[in-house]
Amino acid sequence: MRVVFLSPSYPPEMQQYTRGLAEVGATIYGVGDAPREGLPPDLRAHLHDYLQVPRITDEDDVLERVSAWLRGRSIDRVLANWEPLVILAARLRERWGLGGMSVDAVRGFRDKQLMKERVRAAGLRVPRSHRVRTEPETWAAVEEIGYPLILKPIAGAGSADTYRVDSPSELETTLARMRGVPEASCEEYIDGEEFTFDTVSVGGVPAYENVAAYLPKPIEARSQEWVSPVIITVRDLQQPRLAPGLELGRRVLTALGMGDGFTHMEWYLTSKGEAVFGEIGCRPGGARLVDQMNYTSDIDLFREWARVACWRSFEAVAPRKYNAAIVFKRALGQGRITRIEGLEAWKRACGAWVVEDELLRPGTPRRNWKHTLLSDGHVLVRHPDWNEAHRMAFAAATGIRMYAQ
């Protein structure tokens, strides 16, 4: 099985997917803009060959360079798990006549307005929305949708450049902030709890499913620096309150023509028990969500994804053992981390349920919390009981403090 894998070193978790591909027997041709000599040695060991390109997101240039590089060689798969590259992977597949999801199918997972139109056409509940490119178009859309509303990039990922708007004055401020965004989705704000629906699918049918709760909703966490965002995977997927979301997610995969691999969907549960579609990508969730799923089921989804991508087979036994909670911390102050308070006491109180402590240590420069949910590091805890996992997570959110200057 000869596989082209786009950007095997960045983001860093792509190195795990590269490992997974090697472990299921793939011969891996890596393509990225990182210098070959800068790749970690263990990553280089998994690659059969590697092409450095000037800029991995320059689709037309990469298409020509990779085609020339591999001319005369046989390739079976072209894969990408980083959001900005999923269209490029589909274009390479179509150019070379390979199986896998088409450009049109992948665009339905990338273009937020198109995906909503296709999901709505399948009879599923989605927020009212419009594609907008200019300020007059935005004001016209707002007249129809009303406040509150959400403005976000058509092809964005995560919550970057995503804003809640509650009034005309806020809209003016938001439009000024988004002048560098060529296309946006102007959509109805849904008041409800926010969850994920994650899958590893074979032919659009989930072989593995996951639901995680965002606490608070990402748009709130991204707008207030003092918040410690918490994400908790849900051990019990059989509880009735989640059933509408699971049904919605499975039907969305059908509506959008999902093939093989990861999907990451976000959806809302209203106070009336209605599940409302948010958005979806045909790639894994970021911010260590795959690690959380691995801790939930004691599984290696990096390898199982690779097995599905190469051989269309999911072999692992994946019982749901734990609710796994990750807590992202943000230091108070700017500059370098100076001290951490409450961490050791929290770890002693939680004991063996703590599975990761990846907080930045004193002397390390702070990260820009607006640019990455990873913020200044995280702790991760798991427990079979939801209430205990929730309690320990929020003990970390409120009891651990980081300082910088």
CATH topology of domain 128-188: Dna Ligase; domain 1 (3.30.1490)
pLDDT at residue number 53: 98
Q: Considering the entire predicted model, what is its pTM?
A: 0.93
pLDDT at residue number 159: 58
Vertex 265 angle, CA 208 and 392, to 5°: 75
- The residues near 136 (Cβ < 8 Å, ≥ 6 apart) are none
Q: Where do the H-state alpha helices sit in 38-157?
A: 41-46, 59-69, 86-96, 103-110, 112-121, 135-145
Tokens representing 89 are 């992977």
* DSSP structure string for 345-360: HHHHHHGGGEEEE-PP
Beta bridge pairs of residue 144 = none
Q: How far apart are CA 50 and CA 27, in angstroms?
A: 11
When computed from its CA atoms, the radius of gyration of the chain, rounded to whole angstroms, is: 21
Q: Is the peptide bond before 240 cis (omega within 30 degrees of 0)?
A: no
User: For residue range 81-138, what is the model confidence (pLDDT) as tens digits?
Assistant: 999 999 999 999 999 999 999 999 999 999 999 999 999 999 999 999 999 999 999 9
User: For residue range 269-316, what is the model confidence (pLDDT) as tens digits?
Assistant: 999 999 999 999 999 999 999 999 999 999 999 999 999 999 999 999
Question: Mean pLDDT throughout 146-166?
Answer: 83
What CATH number should be reported for the domain whose range is 2-100? 3.40.50.20
Question: Mean pLDDT throughout 162-178?
Answer: 92
Q: How far apart are CA 194 and CA 216, in angstroms?
A: 8
Tokens representing 238 are 């059989």
In this predicted structure, the answer to whether residue 157 has a pLDDT above a threshold of 70 is no
Q: Tell me which of 3.50.50.60, 3.40.50.720, 3.90.79.10, 3.30.470.20 is the CATH number of domain 191-321.
A: 3.30.470.20
Nearest alpha-carbon partner for 121 in 113, 132, 111: 113
